[in-house]
Structure 1
Amino acid sequence: MVRDDLYITVPSFFRCPISLDVMKSPVSLSTGVTYDRASIQRWLDNGNNTCPATMQVLQTKEFVPNRTLQRLIQIWSDSLHHQLHSPPSPTSTLPSKDQILVAISELQTRADNRFDSLAKIARFAQESEENRDFLVRTECFVPLLVGFLDNVNGGVEFLEQVVTALDLVIGKMEDREGLKNLILKRPGEGDKQSVDSLLLVLQQGSQAAQIASARVLKSVAVDVESKLLIAEKEGLVSELLKLITPEKDPDLVENCLSFLVAISSPRRSKMKLVRLGAVKVLSKLLSASNMSVSVTEKVLKLVETVSSTNEGRSEICEDSACVAAIVNKVLKVSSVATEHAVTTLWSVCYLFRDQTAQEAVTKANGLTKILLLMQSNCSPQVRQMSADLLKIFRVNSKSCLSSYDTKTTHIMPF
C-alpha cells in the first residue's frame, strides 16, 4: 500500500533531457550530455546530427553507457521502493538517501558545489552504520573520492572533507586490495597524487582530518608492497613522527602510532624509522606520565620492532633513558605491554649481549622486575625470555630457574 505522506522528488540528473522521464538506460554522447538510450536513438535515427541539449554538431553519433549514473538510478529506485513499503519515520534534519544520491551526482558534475555536497555526505555517513553501508554500495562513490585526492584544486579544506568522508566509509569496504590499487601508485598508471594529498592533510589539516588521513593510510597498508610504497613516500614517516609527541592530542597520537605499527614490519621500513630518529621519539613517549594503556602498548610494539635490527638495537642501547623506561613498563601496564618490553630487553641484553643495555637494566632495578615476572602468570614465551635474562645477570642457580626446564627451545619472537 502506497503511503500518502511520502512526497517523491526525482533528482534532475536522473531525467532524460528529451523525454524528461527517469532514464532506464543512460548513455552519453561525445558532448558529455547523458540521455536515455531509446530517446537519443530516436533523435539520431531521425537524421539529426546535433546534441539536443547543447545543439553542438556531433563529431560522432556513437554513445557509451553511463554505468555510474545507471547504478545511482538503480540504488535510488531500490531506496524509493523501500520507503514506499516501510512505515513512516519521524522527521529528521539529516539528508535523505535521495538527497545523498543527488549530492553524489553533483560531486561529478558541479565543481562549484562540491564542498557543500561532501559536507552533506559526511553528515549522512556519521549518522549510522546503515548509511555507511549505503554509500559503500554506491559503487562510484569511493573511486570518486579517491579521484579528488588525485586531482584536487580546492585546497586543504576540500581535501579535509574528502579524507573525512573516505575515512567514514572505508571500514565498510571488503575489497581492501581494490582500495589499495585505487589509492597507491601502481606501475603504468601515471603519477597519482593520493598519498601526496594525504600527506598534505597530515601536515596542514585539522586534528580530526589528520586522524582521518592516518586511518585511511593504515587501511591500505595491506601487504608488504603497499607498506613499502607508503613508508618510502618522502616526508610521510617524518611527519608522523612529529605528530606522536606527548604534547599532541592522545587520539591523534594513537592513530599515528597504529599506522606506524602497520607499516613497520618490512625491514626497509624499520631501517627508515631508525634513521629518522624514531627511538628518541618513542623514548620520550615512554617517559610521559599521561599515556593510555593502548598508546603504551603501541609504543612498546614499535620499540620491539626496531630492536630486531642492528641499527635499532644500537640506538636503544645508547639511550639509557629509553632502556629504563622500557624496564619501568614491565608488570605495570598490561600483559601485552609487558611482553613487548621483555622481548626488547631480551633482544638487546641476551641475544646481542650489549653491556651498556645490561647496565641500564640493572640501574633501573630490572632484575627485581624480571624475578617478579617469573613468579607471575605470564606466557611461556615471556617466562623463557625472563629466564634467559636472569642467566645473563648471573642469578644464583638455586633461584627460580631451578624449576625451569632450560632445554626448552626458544624461538626468537620476530
Structure 2
Amino acid sequence: MAREKRREELYVTVPNLFRCPISMDVMKSPVSLCTGVTYDRSSIEKWLALGHKTCPATLQTLPSTLTTPNLTLRRLIQLWLSHADAARAPQCAVSKQEAAAIIKDELNAPSLEKLINFMKASEGNLKFVALSSSAISRFVEFFVESDEIRIRELIVEVFDLISSESGVREKLSELILNSADGRECLSPFVTVLLKGNANAKVKSAKILELIAQNPESQHKISDRPGLLESLYTLTTAESDYSAVEAGLSALLAIATTRAAKKELIRFGIVRTAGRILSGSDPARGVIERTVAMLESVASCTEGRGAIGGDRECVAETVRRLMKCSGTATENGIAVLWSVCCLARDESAQETAEEENGLTKVLLVMQSGCSSSTSMMCRELVKVLRAKSGKSNLAPYYQSRTTHIAPY
C-alpha cells in the first residue's frame, strides 16, 4: 500500500523545468526571453505590461522584450500532462450498456456523476454518449424538468463535455431554442448562473455562447428575462478572471442588438469595464474581451454617452493601447474615435489628452495598423491636437515618440 501511494505521488510531481519561474504553475504556453529563461506567456506578459525591463529570474536588463515560443518544452509538458492525466483519470464505474441505461431511464445526481466519469475516462466513451440517438434530447428534457440545482450543474457539465463533438452544437441549439412544445429551455441557465457553483457558471456561459449562432438565436437568448443580467453579473466577479472572461465572451456573442446593448449599459457594463481595465493583473483574454465589449456598446448613442461620462473608462482605454495585442489596440482606437470624434464628447477628449492620448495614437499609427484604424487615428490626432493646443506636430511627434520604448 505504501509503495502504491509513493508511486502515485511520484506520478503527479511536477518537474521544476515545467514550472513557470513567476507563477510556479505548470506552463501552458512556454516562451523564452532573449536571456534564455523560459516563462509562461501570460505571466511574462503581465510582468512586461507593468513596465519592467528586466528578466525576472536573472534581473538582467532586457535589450529586447520579444518572446520566442519554446516548442520543444511545450511538447514535453503536453506529453507529461497526458501521462499525469491518465494516472489521475477517474475509474470507469459503468459499462457502455450501463451508460445507455442511465441515459434512457435513470437520470439523477448519482447516475449523472457516474456518466460524467464514464465520459471522461476515454474519447470513445465521450463519443458513445454524444452520438447516442436520444442522449442530447434526454439531457435537455431533464435539464428543464428538474428543479435541483445540483442536477442542472451536472447536466451543464455534460453539455460542455459533448459540445465539441460533430453536430452537437447544432442539435443543442435546435433543442434549447426551438423546442416544439414551447418548453422554457433557457430559464435553467439563468438559475445556474445565479445559484450554481463557479465551474457551472463558467460552463453555462460557454454553452450559451456556443448556441448563439445567428441573429435569430442571439435575439432569443438576449430576450430571455434575467439572462443578460445574470451573464453581466458574471463579469463583475473580480476575483475570478475565468468567470469574467466567460461572461464577456458570451455577452459579445449574444448582445448584438441595440436593445441588448442598452440593457448592458443600464446594468453598468461601462463602469465594470473601466474597473476591469484598471486591475493590476487582468489576463490578456480578459483585456481583449473588455475592450471589444466597449467597442460594441460604443456603436450606439447611449454607449458613447456612458463611456464619455466615465473618466476611468476613457483613461484606462488610452493606457491599454499597445499593451495587450493588436486586436485590443485597434478596438481601443475604435472606442476613443467613437467618443472623441463621432460623439465629440469634450470630457472624453480632455481625459484622453491628459493621459497622453495624442502620443499613444501616433505610436499606433507608427506601428502599423489596418486602413480603417489608420483613418480613425488620423481623425483622433486632429481632435487631440486641437485639444492640446499644439499646431505643429513635427517636433512634438519626434520628441514624444522617439524615446518611448515599445510596450
TM-score of the aligned structures, taking structure 2 as reference length? 0.70
> Which amino acid in structure 2 is aligned with residue 250 of structure 1?
Y
Moved more, 272-281 or 311-320: 272-281
Q: Of 321, 336, 353, which aligns to 2:327?
A: 336
Q: Of 195, 200, 219, which aligns to 1:204?
A: 195
The structure-2 alpha-carbon separation of the partners of 1:108 and 1:358, relative to structure 1 and needing over 3 Å to count, comes to: same
State, as a whole percentage, how many aligned pairs show the same letter: 33
CA distance, structure 2, for counterparts of residue 173 and residue 272 of structure 1: 34
Moved more, 269-278 or 332-341: 269-278
8 Å CA contact 2:314–2:352 kept in 1: the answer is: yes
Moved more, 304-313 or 350-359: 350-359
For the aligned residue pairs, the C-alpha RMSD in angstroms reads: 2.5
Larger radius of gyration: 1
Would you say 1:106 and 2:102 are equivalent positions? yes
Would you say 1:180 and 2:176 are equivalent positions? no
Shift of 1:94: 3.1
CA distance, structure 2, for counterparts of residue 235 and residue 168 of structure 1: 26
8 Å CA contact 2:102–2:115 kept in 1: the answer is: no
Residue matched to 1:149 = 143
Secondary structure, counterpart of 2:146 in structure 1: coil
The correspondence of residues 339-378 of structure 1 with structure 2, limited to 5 A, is 339-378=330-369
CA distance, structure 2, for counterparts of residue 129 and residue 265 of structure 1: 35
Would you say 1:120 and 2:114 are equivalent positions? yes
Give CA-to-partner distance per residue, 1:30-86, whole Å, 9 cap, x none. Answer: xxxxxxxxxxxxxxxxxxxxxxxxxxxxxxxxxxxxxxxxxxxxxxxxxxxxxxxxx
Shift of 1:391: 1.3
The structure-2 alpha-carbon separation of the partners of 1:389 and 1:228, relative to structure 1 and needing over 3 Å to count, comes to: same
CA distance, structure 1, for counterparts of residue 273 and residue 323 of structure 2: 18
CA distance, structure 2, for counterparts of residue 93 and residue 384 of structure 1: 56
Would you say 1:280 and 2:271 are equivalent positions? yes
The correspondence of residues 315-326 of structure 1 with structure 2, limited to 5 A, is 315-326=306-317
Q: Of 179, 182, 186, which aligns to 1:195?
A: 186
The structure-2 alpha-carbon separation of the partners of 1:149 and 1:166, relative to structure 1 and needing over 3 Å to count, comes to: same
Shift of 1:183: 0.8
Shift of 1:93: 6.1
Q: What is the count of residue pairs matched by the alignment?
A: 307
Give CA-to-partner distance per residue, 1:119-172, whole Å, 9 cap, x none. Answer: 12212323444432232221211111111112114x101111111111110121
Residue matched to 2:158 = 165
Gaps of 5+ in 1: 1-89, 403-414
Pick the structure with more helix per residue: 2
CA distance, structure 2, for counterparts of residue 128 and residue 266 of structure 1: 41
> Which amino acid in structure 2 is aligned with residue 95 of structure 1?
C
Shift of 1:175: 5.3
Gaps of 5+ in 2: 1-86, 398-407
Shift of 1:309: 0.2
8 Å CA contact 2:237–2:243 kept in 1: the answer is: no
Secondary structure, counterpart of 2:186 in structure 1: helix
Shift of 1:397: 6.3
Shift of 1:316: 0.4
CA distance, structure 2, for counterparts of residue 314 and residue 164 of structure 1: 40
Residue matched to 1:306 = 297
TM-score of the aligned structures, taking structure 1 as reference length? 0.69
Secondary structure, counterpart of 1:162 in structure 2: helix
CA distance, structure 2, for counterparts of residue 93 and residue 387 of structure 1: 58
The structure-2 alpha-carbon separation of the partners of 1:144 and 1:262, relative to structure 1 and needing over 3 Å to count, comes to: same
